[in-house]
Amino acid sequence: MVRPKGSRYFYAAWVLKQRVTSAIRKACEGLTFLAEALVHPGVGSPMIRKYADMSEMRTSPVSIDHDFGTNDPAPEPVRAVLPIVLYSYSFLYQELVKHKLWTARFDRGGEAGAHGPAVRSLVTRHLGSPAVDGWNVVAGAMELASAWALRTNDLPSVLYTAYDLSYKTRLRLAVCLSVAWKFERQLCSHFPRRFHDAEPNLVSPHTCELAYLGLSFMTEQERMVFGTWENANACRVRSLYKEMLKLEVALLKGVPVFSILTKSAPVQAEERIQALFESDLVNAEEAMIIRSIVPFFNAVWQNSYSPQPTGGALVCAAMQCVRVVTTEWHGYSDDAKAMFRSSFADGERARARELLRSGLHLKEVPTAVVRLGCYSDPSWVNYQYMSATTLERTLELAADL
């Protein structure tokens, strides 16, 4: 008997559904009471009743129960340690990318290599260096650290390196970097799988990537006590992983992670650049150049006491540098001055001048951050836009804005 075409599709879908249901039922055999209760729900189950009550108390049926406080600016003790935290994040992030444990490239959509290069050429040329933080991972981790990881009651009065912070604080910092990375590039980690479970299963061996980040924030003495990073030491690796996983959950419950990561100054800077591009005030090449040197200006202000500059101030400083290099003016024309005055508020232009001045006279920690990557490399494609000569000339011309 030959079934009609529509009937064949219905029958195939029914068979697929039955097979999936059977596979799920077999996979769930031997799970915990909670998992079995979810597969075979019982209205009278106290465990199910507990989670139903929790859902009713939430403002959204898909929300995470949280305890968000007010989003106050970073207090003075926290601002005092942010430069050291920025250096630690910048160093670790660049090392992870350089060693291909994290992939930060800008892949082209569709099948790789099918329609030209595998990566987007314009953004790769300008944001390909890890120091440029093209995915805002370091910037996001800094925001999370300021909001959650750094506690005023757990900060030393004198700080020379990140290792002077308490062990718990350093683990929280590692968690912030992990969450910021997962938010942007969660499927682009390539840590080796080397930690096997006692019993064979489909997900073993594990990477325990979160524990690796925690290990990176340990002192030499703490690492000696912890032991080696290999399967022979899997017991301690798993213990550290579980401890940090609890901290990751605490972060997600404690602060509005999505809002923090999507409303940070670097993200706002990208939105301002997009608005300038859509208004035909910059072309695509200039927009990418401006974005590539925003992290430079987001590092130079780290002096332990200044507040975070706005996205507009960061873009204003970077755009002035680009204009100085890409134009042949001996000074800003009246049209250029009018454009800057109409595009940026008085406060943004004033803070941009401070950033230009800070770029010329770097403090100790910003100097160390800048030296880590492309901003200290004269061969970098956009080095001329933030070189000392450009900064000096831009600062002179900025006085008239």
Cβ within 8 Å of residue 194, ≥6 positions away = 205, 207, 230, 231
CA atoms within 13 A on the CB side of 193: 7
Per-residue pLDDT at 98 exceeds 60: yes
Q: Are 175 and 210 in contact (CB under 8 A)?
A: yes
Q: What share of the chain has pLDDT > 90, as a percent?
A: 58
Residues 6 or more apart whose CB falls under 8 angstroms from that of 51 comprise none
Q: What is the pLDDT of residue 87?
A: 95
Average pLDDT over residues 213-238: 92
Averaged confidence pLDDT in the chain: 82
Tokens of 380: 């970098």
* H or E, element range at 273: helix 265-278
Q: Which of 273, 281, 350 is nearest to 309 (CA)?
A: 350
Q: Which residue has the higher pLDDT, 23 or 256?
A: 256
Residue 338 has pLDDT above 70, yes or no: yes
pLDDT in tens, 355-387: 999 999 999 999 999 999 999 999 999 999 999
Which range has the worst mean pLDDT, 122-136, 142-156, 174-188, 318-332?
318-332
Q: Is the pLDDT of residue 28 over 70?
A: no
The tokens describing 35, both together, are 């998992």
Which residues, 6 or more positions from 269, have their beta carbon under 8 angstroms from its beta carbon? Answer: 291, 294, 311, 312, 314, 315
131 pLDDT above the threshold of 80: yes
User: How far is residue 246's CA from residue 181's CA, in Å, rounded to a whole number?
Assistant: 17
Q: How much is the pTM?
A: 0.79
- Cis amide prior to 41 (ω within 30 degrees): no
Q: What is the pLDDT of residue 291?
A: 98
Highest mean pLDDT, choosing among 63-77, 166-180, 387-401? 166-180
**145 and 255 in contact (C-beta within 8 Å)?**
no
Q: Residue 315 above 50 pLDDT?
A: yes
In whole angstroms, give the CA distance from residue 153 to residue 21.
52
Higher pLDDT, 166 or 12: 166
For 208, phi and psi rounded to 5 degrees? Answer: 50, 40
User: Which tops the pLDDT comparison, 70 or 141?
Assistant: 141
Cβ–Cβ under 8 Å, residues 208 and 216: no
The radius of gyration of the chain from alpha carbons, rounded to an integer in Å, stands at 26
Cα 154 from Cα 149, distance rounded (Å): 10
Whether the link from the prior residue into 205 is cis, omega within 30° of 0, is yes
Higher pLDDT, 236 or 34: 236
At residue 115 the predicted structure's pLDDT band, cuts being 50, 70 and 90, is low
**What average pLDDT does the segment 294-322 reach?**
94
Tens of pLDDT, residue by residue over 37-91, are 333 333 333 433 433 344 444 444 444 444 444 445 677 888 889 999 999 999 9
Flag the least confident range among 45-54, 215-224, 262-271, 391-400. 45-54
Q: Among 23-27, 122-126, 327-331, which is the least confidently predicted range?
A: 23-27
Secondary structure class of 10 (helix, strand, coil): helix
**With left for phi above 0 and alpha for psi between -120 and 50, is residue 191 left, alpha or beta?**
beta
